[in-house]
Amino acid sequence: MKKKTALVTGASRGIGKSIKESLLNEQIEVISPSRSELDLSSSESINNFLTNLSTSIDILVNNAGILKVGRHNELSAVDFHEILQINVVAPFEIISGVVESMKQRKFGRIVNISSIWGQISREGRSLYSSSKAALDALTKSFALEFASYNVLINSVAPGYVDTELITKYNTNLELEKIKKTIPMQRFAKKNEISDLVKFLCSEDNSYITGQIITIDGGFVCK
């Protein structure tokens, strides 16, 4: 049986790296392009990358994304266009570029890495929340288009995850305060996210599609 091939964006660190390692452990071939190979801010770069792919993609994980934080008077339309391009348009373009071969083979698994901030929000998150809400809507609509071809697409919406980024931008005291707002009183581990993604990308997932699966220790239930 031919090994399955996965394309994972943003796999150099954090959740993306954990997803890549999890899929490799399942003997799945993983393509994880660097930014120089695939610039998500450029539709031309995306098209060139997809055109030059030498193999069909069975599994796609759109993990790469950017965060812009600021109030309305601190951000511009340029900021909005940039975050929408990388967080929404790029996933749309990549999905569109690989899904036809999935449909032909009657197998495909797509996971978009979203965020709890697509479901709830707070001051300064208008652009990021908008982009993740749009990504979730894209997931649901595409699920309806692809379901009859056994191409399943879901969003995974993590809450706070123990990654390099959260420790980089918060002091130890701030981290402890954040933990107290989470019912489980801790951050998610990277493997808890990647294990969920791995299942959604597998043949064991034969019926879940169009879902926004929140993994946040109960944070959005408050």
Read off the pLDDT of residues 27-80 as tens digits, 9 standing for 90 and up: 999 999 999 999 999 999 999 999 999 999 999 999 999 988 888 888 899 999
Q: Which is catalytic among the residues 128, 160, 169, 207?
A: 128
Q: 167 pLDDT band (50/70/90 cuts)?
A: confident
Is 149 catalytic? The answer is no
- Domain-wise residue ranges, the chain: 5-159+189-214
User: Is the C-alpha dihedral spanning 80, 175, 162, 115 positive or negative?
Assistant: negative
pLDDT in tens, 67-92: 888 888 888 999 999 999 999 999 99
Distance separating alpha carbons of residues 60 and 58, to the nearest angstrom: 7
Angle between helices 126-146 and 77-84 in degrees, nearest 10: 30
pLDDT in tens, 92-119: 999 999 999 999 999 999 999 999 999 9
Q: Give the three-state DSSP class for 49.
A: helix
pLDDT score at 97 = 98
5-159+189-214 falls under which CATH superfamily?
Answer: NAD(P)-binding Rossmann-like Domain (3.40.50.720)
Asked if 131 and 84 touch (Cβ cutoff 8 Å), the reply is yes
pLDDT in tens, 192-212: 999 999 999 999 999 999 999
pLDDT at 1 over 70: no
In 3D space, the residue among 69, 67, 60 whose CA is nearest the CA of residue 38 turns out to be 60
